[in-house]
Structure 1
Amino acid sequence: MDTLIKWSVEDYHKMIEAGILSDRSCELIAGEILQMSPEGTFHRYINHSVADYLRSILGAQAVISEAHPITLTDSEPEPDIAVVRSPYTLYLNHHPYAEDIYWLIEVSDSTLAKDLGVKKNIYAQAKIREYWVIDLPSKILKVFQSPQDKDYQIKQDYTKGIISPVAFPNLEISVNKLLG
């Protein structure tokens, strides 16, 4: 039986620097280099509108990073939105680490199984306090909190109302604005 070789974050960075992955849309997930799904126009629209909305209500309290890498132990995913510690200059020499992340958001239409499977597991394992999935086909915001091992202890679905993230309990975010 053949054994799959897992790539480290350092190996992945070397491949990027050498230009090996320059013509590929991929991310490192649990030691494997996976091709990313193409982004549809509605996905892009929701991603952009959610990021703009969060910037408008968070201001300088956090950096809103769109589709850029975060660095975890054996993964370097590119979540649709990462809400991370400010100022942005913290990330001149590295991508945000797990301890820099307030919460992550994936906008999901064709990637729901991946977002609720392997991505949720690696985010929970990295102890990212909160993870949201905007399920576009079902128009549901799936919220995961309290990471333990490879899963989250708290799981809630929202179709309307107001939500407050763990990191900013006084912030009121409209679920309707998130769902488009």
Structure 2
Amino acid sequence: MATTVASRPSSEVDNEPSAGPRRFTQEEYFRMVEVGILDEDDRTELLDGHIVEMVAQNAPHRAAVIKATELLVDRLRAAPYVVQTQSTLPLDCHNVPESDLAVLSGTADDLLEGEPDEIPLIVEVADTSLEKDRTTKLRCYATNGIPEYWIVNLQNDTIEVYREPADGEYRQRETMTRDGSVTPLFDDLLSFEVGVVLPQDPSDEEE
């Protein structure tokens, strides 16, 4: 005798949640480092719960990071802020980016007591990572209320300035060219020319 098995309507099947990539928490991410699943030297970051491998940096990227770091450290020497370079930045349960630069309130020793009360500025240097910095990273910073986010765009020789975070995006965007100047919201005395941060081709200096 044949057995008939009743199947559910296709509409019910279609409405079932589909399995997706597992999202990790900040606690789980740090635990992976502690137990050796991830090595401290691995270049990874946690974005929206996903472990993302970071690409190797080319020479222009490294040069821009060094120049921006030197500039901010020098200008903020007497201010109540410190500059963190290419280090872990725990923001929320599912986001632990490794920003190229982050301006943190307080002193370096304050990190031993907990995360800073204020992160007025985050800077990413972008070449091959430009799309990620404009999408995934931008949403991460906007969602966490970072008031100002800069992308040093090596492809276009500009600095993209994002402000007014709301609903996972920035409502204000301004693109500054090499001959322009930029001033962060948290310190109007910190104005500097964009070209100071962008890498300089040695052949241009000789002309």
Q: Same fold (TM over 0.5)?
A: yes
Aligned-pair identity in percent equals: 29
| SS of equivalent to 1:179 | coil
| Cα distance between partner residues in 2 of 1:68 and 1:60 | 22
Aligned partner of 1:127 among 145, 170, 192 = 145
Query: In the alignment, is the contact (CA less than 8 A) between 1:60 and 1:86 conserved in 2?
Result: no
1:5 alignment partner in structure 2:
22
Unaligned runs of at least 5 residues, structure 1 = none
> Does the residue aligned with 1:56 lie in a helix, a strand or coil?
helix
**2:100 aligned to which of 57, 61, 80:** 80
TM-score w.r.t. structure 1 length? 0.93
Q: Which residue of 1 aligns with 2:163?
A: 145
Cα distance in 2, alignment partners of residues 50 and 37 from structure 1: 20
Q: Distance in 1 between matches of 2:78 and 2:95?
A: 28
Report the counterpart of residue 176 of structure 1 in structure 2: 195
The offset of 1:176, in angstroms, is 1.3
2:87 corresponds to which letter in structure 1?
H
CA separation in 2, counterparts of 1:89 and 1:100? 15
Stretch of structure 1 that moved more, 161-170 or 64-73: 161-170
Query: What secondary structure is seen at the aligned counterpart in 2 of 1:101?
Result: coil
Instruction: For residue 141 of structure 1, report the CA deviation from its aligned partner.
Output: 0.4
Alignment equivalent of 1:166, drawn from 177, 181, 185: 185
Partner of 1:79, secondary structure, is strand
| 1:105 corresponds to which of 123, 145, 155 | 123
Corresponding position of 1:16: 33
Equivalent residue of 1:115, what SS?
A: helix
Q: What is the deviation of 1:93? A: 5.0
Cα distance per residue 1:113-155 (max 9 Å; x no partner):
0000100011000000000000102101000001001100110
Alignment of 1:2-81 (within 5 A): 2-22=19-39, 24-61=42-79, 62-73=81-92, 74-81=94-101
Q: Secondary structure at the match of 2:56?
A: coil
User: 3-state DSSP class of the match of 2:120?
Assistant: strand
Aligned partner of 1:17: which letter? E
Q: What are the ranges of 5 or more consecutive residues in structure 2 without an aligned counterpart?
A: 1-17, 200-207
Shift of 1:52: 0.5
Does the aligned pair in 2 maintain the 1:124–1:148 contact within 8 Å? yes
- Paired residue type of 2:195: N
Residue 163 of structure 1 and its aligned partner are, at CA, apart by: 1.6
Q: Aligned partners of 1:29, 1:153: CA distance in 2, in Å?
A: 21
Per-residue CA shift, 1:63-110, capped at 9, x if unaligned?
11110011111100001011111211111254x45x431100000110
Instruction: Provide the C-alpha distance between the structure 1 equivalents of 2:29 and 2:69, rounded to a whole number of angstroms.
Output: 27
Q: 1:11 aligns to what SS in structure 2?
A: helix
Q: CA RMSD in A?
A: 1.4
Instruction: Give the Cα–Cα distance (whole angstroms) in 2 for the partners of residues 170 and 48 of structure 1.
Output: 21
Q: How many residues align?
A: 178
Aligned partners of 2:48 and 2:78: how far apart in 1?
Answer: 32
User: In 2, distance between residues paired with 1:164 and 1:42?
Assistant: 23
